[in-house]
Amino acid sequence: MFNNIKKDFPIFLNIPDLVYLDSAATSQKPQQVIDSVTKFYSKENANIARGLYKIAEDATMNYEQVRSKVQKFVNAKSSNEIIFTQNTTSSLNAVMRGWGENFVKKHDKIVTTVMEHHSNFVPWQFLAKRKQANLVVVDVDDDGQIDLGDFEKKVKDSKIVTLSTVSNVLGVINNVNKLCDIAHEQGAICVVDGAQSVPSMPTDVQKINCDFLAFSGHKMLAPFGIGILYGKEELLEKSDPFVYGSQMIRKVTQKENEWNDLPYKFEPGTPDISAVIGLGKAVDYLSVLGMDNIHKHEQMLIGYLLKQFSELDGLNVLGPENSKQRGGLVSFSLDKIHSHDVAAMLAEDNICVRSGHHCAMPIHERFGLAATTRASVYVYNQKEDIDKLINSLKQVQKVFS
């Protein structure tokens, strides 16, 4: 199923020797997605929810059909629970502003983990400071797993618990179903950052029973500029919008206004319609492949990568050694070689990885590191990509030895 998939991606046809191992940062785009955006601008370009002429009505219908596709993709109860945003960061900020500002009070407890991306850490730091609440950080063990005892202790009497399904540094898959259950037992809401999980594994928000889930389109084959916020309808009803303007209101007078119905009260102004159309095609593409199949493919590749890494002296891996406990990424360091030097030398062989702190400084600090190199895989990767990475890493070590 995955052997011939690169033919669907123009970038690999245009750059045949490209070894792209940075899908945790953003995915490449298949021709089907690119064509859908081109078709929109060439044949259907109009604003939504405004005009009564055909292309405007078609644009509105196609836009709302994507909302329904996303609803089914994550198994939300209603399309009213799917909010289109700009990215994962804006989705998480929408929860912080819309729900957190209303319900977090002085001395309340907000719980997060040390492994979070800054987008799921900094907003809660800001809210805690603004509300004089307490931000409590759960630690991980030396294998990168959430310390369950520490979690259960710190989550007591909390108002919000926020965590990621898959760490963008450790690669570890957290048992968010169980962690959300523990949070709910304490009366807290559970916010999940799904940026690294939704593109790569089955997601069922009703099984997870999270209250909010944030993710981005660009990591799942869709264009840049489209993010998604899932929220339970009853919580979205209680939340306030934090960006104001047209479309998110039902009525405006000189003295007051009235919010629009869900989901529109959180979608002010003109959205990136073409990106939403592209998201719909991306969901179609992934659904044909099957999210279970994608997850298995990634775990096969990560298992192969970890085995190859284990044979390289001086290479240290962050996170679990068992590929079954991981998503599709591995962060690593090489003894006495800075991650930027590693990435720069790999780039000379047209191998794309990320280096640095990956917008997650606290977890690097936890392991006494300033930076790591990260390799991540997706649907278009094969073992040959990993073989090329390993061969180039051997050359890096040779040059610096």
C-alpha closest to that of 192 among 226, 221, 228:
228
210 is catalytic: no
Q: How far apart are CA 317 and CA 141, in angstroms?
A: 14
C-alpha closest to that of 82 among 62, 68, 61:
68
What pLDDT shows up at residue 181? 98
Per residue in 36-74, pLDDT tens? 999 999 999 999 998 899 999 999 999 999 999 999 999
Domain locations along the chain: 5-21+290-400, 33-288
| 33-288 belongs to CATH 3.40.50.2300 | no
What pLDDT shows up at residue 248? 87
Residue matched to tokens 């679990």: 320
The listed CATH number (3.30.1390.20, 3.40.50.10480, 1.20.1090.10, 3.90.1150.10) that belongs to domain 5-21+290-400: 3.90.1150.10
Per residue in 70-103, pLDDT tens? 999 999 999 999 999 999 999 999 999 999 999 9
CB-CB contact of 100 with 127 (8 Å)? yes
Q: Is the predicted pLDDT of residue 401 greater than 90, yes or no?
A: no
What pLDDT shows up at residue 313? 96
Q: How far apart are CA 192 and CA 92, in angstroms?
A: 9
Per residue in 316-350, pLDDT tens? 999 999 999 999 999 999 999 999 999 999 999 99
Residues in CB range of 14: below 8 A, 6 or more apart: none
Of 180, 190, 352, 359, the active-site residue reads 359
Identify the sign of the CA torsion 206, 207, 208, 214: negative
Q: Is the predicted pLDDT of residue 246 greater than 90, yes or no?
A: no
Q: Is the predicted pLDDT of residue 242 greater than 90, yes or no?
A: no
**What average pLDDT does the structure give for the chain?**
97
Helix (H) or strand (E) holding 361: helix 361-366
